[in-house]
Structure 1
Amino acid sequence: MGGFFSAAPIAYRRGLFYWGRRLNENLKYSDQGMSLTENAETLVLFAYPDPASPLAKALQARGLWQKTQQGAPIPGDLLGLSGAPWTGGWGHTGPDVHYGMVITRDLAVDWLRADVRGAEAVVKRDVKVALNQEEYDALVDLVFNIGSGNFDTSTLLRKLNVGDTDGALAEFVRWNKAGGVVLAGLVKRREAERVLFQLGANHARVAA
């Protein structure tokens, strides 16, 4: 027989065998997933400080945070405070984002596509069980937001990889803080991801 039949199965879930290839490799982030990310992040065409940074907290204390989020200049006496990681576009962070930067929509789209590809690669690398589209989209958005390091060491991933889907679902809500502070936007985003993931899990149970 050829290689397909001689390869050892590397995973089993919901009655599906995956022979000698990476799980979930054929999944692609859907339009539904991209809408979730875009709506949660909001397009911002200038660089702004991280909400949990010392600079952001000082702006919040002065009642200036919302104004700076709309493009108002940051007072000069606060510019010595760290705003890292600076963010722009649809939640893009990195050394290519800095204070005073004006971002074109084309650049923001390029950043978004690259960041989504990176999040997809993490999900495909780290998740050891078969996913359906809704589950995959929910996890890609989660990784996009919390980063690969947090996802790699998360209880959510550990529970998912041992087949504890309900346990993994319960973990989404834990990722609702930035700098130790619960943020309403993160609460809303985690709930959207959890609902999407649960929809996929329910579909999987019906199909099993």
Structure 2
Amino acid sequence: MNINTRLLALGFTGAILTGGVLVATGEGEVLRTYIDPAGIETACFGQTGHNIKLGMVFTHQQCLDMLATSLKSFDRELVKLTPPLSEGEHIAYLSFIYNVGADAFGASTLRKKLWAGDRVGACNELPRWVYAKKKKLPGLIKRRSNERRYCLRDL
């Protein structure tokens, strides 16, 4: 089952569905645990947390289920941390918060600009978040460019 079909089957629509596909594309799928460029134990579609340990192996279905659970959780956090968003902003920031975490998002200049009404300025903060351990990563450059494009599309 592909990502779109699974997320639709779980009732995801609109910004969460598109954001989920953007997350999956940006993260890629790895059916085992690995250490990501930031040194964090990771699996599947960028899944991290206390339940992810080196040596674990997952099925595609397990990875899709973890993605769906994480999307719900991060979407709830996003809604709590932001004013009402356009669909494009919602898509972009869902992908962003999934990648950097709610704490980093909450403390970011991006969020401050968003709350100050500088929506374009907030979107333009995304390309600054392309480093892991002080190293600029090509995958993050591409991901942030995609997020920025979605973010600006409805403004």
Give the TM-score of the pair, scaled to structure 1.
Answer: 0.65
In the comparison of the two structures, how many residue pairs are matched? 143
Inter-partner Cα distance in structure 2 for 1:91 and 1:33:
14
Q: Distance in 2 between matches of 1:120 and 1:30?
A: 7
1:132 Cα offset (Å): 1.7
Gaps of 5+ in 1: 1-26, 54-84, 202-208
Match of 1:92 in 2: 47
Query: What's the CA shift string for 1:34-56, capped at 9, x where partnerless?
Result: 22111111111011112132xxx
Q: What TM-score, normalized to structure 2?
A: 0.87
2:76 is equivalent to residue 121 of structure 1: yes
Q: Does structure 1 residue 199 correspond to structure 2 residue 147?
A: no
Deviation at 1:30, TM superposition (A): 3.7
Give per-residue Cα distances to partners, 1:122-181, cap 9 Å, x unaligned: 1110112x2121111111110000000100000000001110112112211111111111
Is the contact made by 2:88 and 2:150 (CA closer than 8 Å) also made in structure 1?
yes
> CA contact under 8 A between 2:16 and 2:75: conserved in structure 1?
no
Percent identity, please: 32
1:167 aligns with 2:115: no
Q: 1:153 to 1:96 in 2, by over 3 A?
A: same
Q: Distance between the aligned counterparts of 1:106 and 1:35, measured in 2?
A: 15
Aligned residue for 2:43, secondary structure, equals strand
Distance 2:80 2:19 in 1: 19
Structure with the bigger percentage of helix: 2
Structure with the greater alpha carbon radius of gyration: 1
